[in-house]
Structure 1
Amino acid sequence: MLVTELKCGGIVIGCIFDHRIVDGYSADMFISSWADITRTGTPSMFPSLERSYLNPRYPPIYSSSIDNVFAPFLPPSKTVNDQNDDDGDHVLVNRIYYVEGDQIKRLQLLASENGCMRSKVEAFTSFLWKKFALSMEDSGKHNAVCNMAVPVNGRRRLSEGGGEEKEKPMASYFGNVLSMPYGSKKAQELKGMSLADVASEVHEFLQTATNKEHFLELIDWVADKRPQPLISKAFAGEEMSMMVSAGQRFHTMDEIDFGWGKVAFGSCHIPSERTDFFVMIMPGPVNDEDWLVYMHLPLKQINYIQEDAGDVLKPMNVDYLKL
């Protein structure tokens, strides 16, 4: 944890979390509980460290479908930063944007053209997947594969059928309870697809991780592979891969208060040594309908998306934050 006091009287609080130990849901739970304690002395939710909730079955039961989600980790033979990069286009950079609620609703309507209502996260993920593919096309990588992964929280799924007795402990479980389904398409394929068609692809691969049995199988599979480290299969190869994590329901903006008033701005940050492409959706700091979007992407892709989608993704600034 790092606390920085600004000359204006404001305070910046930074926390480091290791994703091998906790997921974003747990990090949000920790920060929210910490804020509750500083203000009232009692957390609104007591984090649970009871690992028995994720005990594997005996004997383990899992299908080959889990092999399409995770894979044994092997050190990559190359990284983005290893490429010939005289102009710096492949250097990974961090950017923060805001997306207005009206734009999110517009994307959702476009993604739902086939008569199937898609969620806002599905619509926005589809939008970014297509833009990322177009940036690859712009670089001449027509036949290159572009993967899109979306983490899914398994807490609610694992508590299905258990009633309140199971729901509350799982809701407060502190650790990693994630699956990472993904889709894979060539850049040229995505270029020719409508947003609604891309959204159908996103919806389809997400469906593999929306039931209790998938997470039970995942628990068994992980236990069977120990102590071998694992990785999302989307990032196990040499393809261009991006992850969009949905944290728009986190408490960062609307509920967290350390006793000095509501948090004015909150986001995440990826260390420079991480070479995976990552996007995080957070609740808007000003308007409940807006989103904050953090991106950790190569400069070339960032520049393309910012130019091509400037009507949707607007750079964060003090005017928007009303500071």
Structure 2
Amino acid sequence: MGAVAGAGGEFSMKLGKKEVVTAALPVQEHWLPLSNLDLLLPPLDVGVFFCYTNPTTAASRRLGYGSMVGILKAALAQALVSYYVLAGEVVQNLAGEPELLCNNRGVDFIEAFADIELRHLNLYNPDETIEGKLVPTKKQGVLAVQATELKCGGILVACTFDHRIADAYSANMFMVFWADKARSAAPISLPPSFRRSLLNPRRPLCVDPSLDSMYIPLSALPPPPKQKQEADEECKKSRDDDCLVSRLYYVTAAELSELQQRACSNGSKRSKLESFSAFLWKMVAESSSVAKNDDDKRMSRMGIVVDGRGRLMSQRMDDEPTPMASYFGNVLSIPFGEKRTMEVVEKPLSWVAEAVHEFVQSAATREHFLNLIDWVEEHRPVPALARIYCKPGSEEEEGSTAFVVSSGQRFPITEMDFGWGKPALGSYHFPWGGEAGYVMPMPSPLSNGDWVVYLHLSQSQVAFIESQAPSVFRPLTPQYLNLL
């Protein structure tokens, strides 16, 4: 692999051994259907990575790269016994829908070396240093893993998941289990559940018509105008301001508290996520209003990913965990707000936060998820998609903006210890290729109330946000992570 631009200059990547890791115990081959909520996901891959500095054992004896890779592979083989779906393959059934073939095909495990020290890695700009280099490109199967040795003796462990098989909650479950196995920790108390019957549609189906404004069958999507296709191709070549880029920031606990205070009014209480999302919505909308003049015609959309596990949770019996708490798969909905761009810009933060709260609450119910399951069933086998991901195609809405916020507050950064200490940094990486932006705030590895924020927006939006809110969005640096 060629040279890569980084904060410490260019560095070279060298790919080493590639091995397929299978479950340590035999898996009886069988088919596992995707749930209706899985079917709402297009074939997208999601990356996640963890950076470790000079790993040491409890006795302060430095572990070599070979030893660490051996630990990772052995623990992965053990973890795949319980999480056997990650060792399978996604194939099409007779109806043309994706299904899981649980055949223990295995997980591609790639070894690599990067000629750079962790303290010199440009983490602020993952497009240059992470994308396609330190996070593997999955070519087959459901999961791919890469372990990259760094020049300083540290290691970067990265995974790429098929999003149709696992949401962030499910991926977090697996990664913590994998780390527990590496440390020979006691068996987890919450083994994964693949009971698709937990998300079966009702009979008869009961569909709320309001879902038609949140989701759309792919067959109902109009083809993009010819000029739009040409613009997209030109964008890919030139990397102009309309192209999406990835950045990593940190937001301090003090700034989050201030945003939350500003977002609350008239005795209302807004969460940090609602407050932060409202502030970012105003920033994105304002960046658009600065660039365009036809203010009255443009719309601004912002969605928030809602996890339905807590809403679908059945009653606890004798303090036993409920099935949905351990369910592995996608249990997500993406409600969104839609406002005139100038309205979002001109209204106070508390007004925007109230709008965010309203559309989130509309999906944070058991009935919403039951209706969504039925809605998908009503449209099968035609695939469907969340409307927030579909950029408006009408001429009058040209220049409208859209992005999605997915809360990563459950990101298990402090639990990802494979036996050589906690990570200096962990983050999701999701340059998903769509036209809507994507943002995921995660807890800081410093455990001080700060957030690490993965942001995937257009270059012009990023430039505007950095110029207007530098005290909120601070580029992630080695100094912040105490790597210098």
TM-score (norm. length: structure 2): 0.63
Q: Are 2:415 and 1:255 equivalent residues in the alignment? A: yes
Q: Which moved more, 1:166-175 or 1:63-72?
A: 166-175
Q: 1:244 to 1:16 in 2, by over 3 A?
A: same
Structure 2 distance, partners of 1:197, 1:153, is 24
- 1:39 aligned residue: 183
Structure 1 distance, partners of 2:318, 2:390, is 38
Q: Which moved more, 1:182-191 or 1:72-81?
A: 72-81
- 2:401 aligned residue: 240
The CA deviation at 1:144 is 1.4
TM-score (norm. length: structure 1): 0.93
- 2:265 aligned residue: 113
- Paired letter, 2:390: A
Q: 1:6 to 1:45 in 2, by over 3 A?
A: farther
- 2:162 aligned residue: 18
Could you report, residue by residue, the CA deviation over 1:166-187 in whole angstroms, capped at 9, with x for unpaired residues? Answer: 8532111110000110000121
The CA deviation at 1:240 is 2.0
Q: 1:76 to 1:279 in 2, by over 3 A?
A: farther
Aligned with 1:127 (options 274, 279, 293): 279
Aligned with 1:62 (options 191, 207, 218): 207
Aligned with 1:305 (options 424, 449, 465): 465
- Paired letter, 1:276: A
- 1:51 aligned residue: 196
- 2:292 aligned residue: 140
**Structure 2 unaligned blocks of 5 or more:** 1-144, 393-399
Tell me how many residue pairs correspond in the alignment: 322
Verify the 8 A CA contact 1:148 1:241 in the aligned structure 2: yes
Structure-to-structure mapping, 1:215-234, within 5 angstroms: 215-234=369-388
**Could you tell me the percent identity over the aligned residues?**
45
The CA deviation at 1:255 is 1.9
Q: Which moved more, 1:222-231 or 1:37-46?
A: 37-46
The CA deviation at 1:24 is 1.1
Q: 1:54 to 1:113 in 2, by over 3 A?
A: same
Q: 1:44 to 1:96 in 2, by over 3 A?
A: farther
Q: Which protein has greater RCO, CA pairs closer than 8 Å, 6+ apart?
A: 1
Structure 1 distance, partners of 2:266, 2:323, is 39
- Paired letter, 1:270: F
- Paired letter, 1:114: N
**Structure 1 unaligned blocks of 5 or more:** none
Q: 1:213 to 1:101 in 2, by over 3 A?
A: same
Structure 1 distance, partners of 2:267, 2:229, is 41
Structure 2 distance, partners of 1:300, 1:177, is 33
Verify the 8 A CA contact 1:127 1:195 in the aligned structure 2: yes
Structure 2 distance, partners of 1:166, 1:202, is 34
- Paired letter, 2:232: D
- Paired letter, 2:198: Y
Structure 1 distance, partners of 2:164, 2:348, is 36
Structure 1 distance, partners of 2:391, 2:364, is 25
- Paired letter, 2:279: F
Could you report, residue by residue, the CA deviation over 1:245-286 in whole angstroms, capped at 9, with x for unpaired residues? Answer: 1011221x2222111111210111124644431001111111
Verify the 8 A CA contact 2:391 2:435 in the aligned structure 1: no
Q: Which has the larger radius of gyration?
A: 2
* Higher normalized strand content (fraction of residues): 2
Q: Aligned Cα RMSD in Å?
A: 2.1
